[in-house]
Amino acid sequence: MTLNRILLIGGTGNLGTLILKHLLASPSNFTVSVLSRRSANTSHYPAAVKIVQVDDDYPPDQLTPAFSDTDVVISAISMMGMHHQPKFIDACVAAKVKRYIPTEFGLEDLPQWLLDLRPMFKTKHDVRDYLVSKESAGLSWTCVCCNVFFEMGIESGFFQFYWAQKRAVLLNDGELQWPATTLDTVAIAVVRVIEKEELTANKILLIQDFMTSQKEVLNEIEQRTGKWEVQKRELGPWLDEAKEKTRNGQNEELSKLTFAVAREAGDWAKREEYANALLDLPTKPFKKAIEQALEAH
Ligand SMILES: NC(=O)c1ccc[n+]([C@@H]2O[C@H](COP(=O)([O-])OP(=O)(O)OC[C@H]3O[C@@H](n4cnc5c(N)ncnc54)[C@H](OP(=O)(O)O)[C@@H]3O)[C@@H](O)[C@H]2O)c1
């Protein structure tokens, strides 16, 4: 294996914390560094991890030296920091990094109406294009798409479960199934991408733990927490309303647009890019994942 020296950006995040855990647990004996914003708290990093600090706006002249002696840069940066990625990619090329794994970890298909209404997602498209343009400069890339983070989707209201009011909004009866992935599985997939470097170069890879639906998740929630108020909405008018409110500046509606796309992702297991087998990915069954996701309730 030639990809041994790994640098992680966003190592304090929801996903980054788990990527770091699985990098350190890997039998591949990676040398692991994290790129940390100077304002970030680094006290919880284990001693085995080298901390490389840069100013909070990731200045290019600090990135290239930070990426020296690195084979792989993983970006698990927050949505708020995604726009810094072209600078990360330029620094990878300058420092002769071999693989860049961008902040993706979500939808594979980003329809034009979503890009128009949620410009932050355009960054993901632009980064994919930019990475392709850098292949000839010696930088390979891998995008990991997991559709939705399962636990966060349940807890945050993304799947339309509003915990404070015990109210669920089911779209078209809530029966449609979509791919869902637990954070732990996403993190393991990132490590496997590096371990299987030749098979994963310059590819968009689709992964999942299972497919599920709003109805299936609601049944489990109600078994544990009692009856919920259920509102049934037709997708079309519900989505039109969310689009209109977004156009009028109501940003709290943005996640509905993303969920509308995520629930239409279809059966990834039938797609050529489906990579669970290629990555030899250990998946978590629905029952186990929901048990863990609902532990606190
Ligand atoms: N599929 C889904 O359902 C889903 C859901 C949520 C997120 N995602 C994807 O996964 C990626 C990672 O998500 P996450 O929830 O792990 O991210 P997160 O916890 O919000 O943030 C990750 C890290 O980004 C760094 N960072 C850099 N600039 C920042 C800024 N301006 N504000 C806040 N943090 C900043 C921080 O690390 P340092 O302190 O170390 O600098 C932070 O811990 C996202 O970008 C998104 O693409 C997918």
Q: What is the pLDDT of residues 232-252, one digit of tens each?
A: 999 999 999 999 999 999 988
- Give, using CA atoms, the residue closest to atom 46 of ligand 1: 79
Q: Where are the domains of the chain?
A: 5-145+182-208+267-283
Is pLDDT above 90 for 194?
yes
Question: Which pairing describes strands 178-180 and 203-206: parallel, antiparallel, or unpaired?
Answer: unpaired
C-alpha 14 – ligand 1 centre gap (Å): 7
Query: Is residue 7 within a helix (H) or strand (E), and if so which, with residue range?
Result: strand 5-9
CB 150 within 8 A of CB 180: yes
pTM for the structure as a whole: 0.97
pLDDT range class, residue 1, cuts 50, 70, 90: low
Q: Say how far residue 276 (Cα) sits from the centre of its chain.
A: 16
| Distant-in-sequence, close-in-space partners of 128: CB < 8 Å, separation ≥ 6 | 102, 143, 204
- The token pair that represents 212 in the structure block: 């599920």
Q: Please compute the mean of the pLDDT values over residues 34-42 and round it to a whole number.
A: 95
Q: What is the pLDDT of the chain when averaged over all its residues?
A: 96
Token readout for 112 is 């034009």
Residues touching ligand 1 (Cβ under 6 Å) are: 10-16, 36-37, 40, 76-82, 103, 105-106, 146, 148-149, 152-153
Does pLDDT of 157 surpass 70? yes
Q: Ligand 1 pocket test: pick from 7, 15, 82, 126 the residue with the most ligand atoms within 8 Å of its Cβ.
A: 15
CA 79 to centroid of ligand 1, rounded, Å: 6
Q: What confidence tens digit (pLDDT) does each residue in 268-282 have?
A: 999 999 999 999 999
- Specify the CATH architecture of the domain 5-145+182-208+267-283: 3-Layer(aba) Sandwich (3.40)
The predicted structure's pLDDT at residue 58: 98
Distance CA 245, CA 52 (A): 42
For residue 100, pLDDT over 80 is answered with yes
> Can you give the pLDDT at residue 120?
86
Please check the confidence at residue 296 and state whether its pLDDT lies above 90.
no
Instruction: Please tell me the predicted confidence (pLDDT) of residue 119.
Output: 85
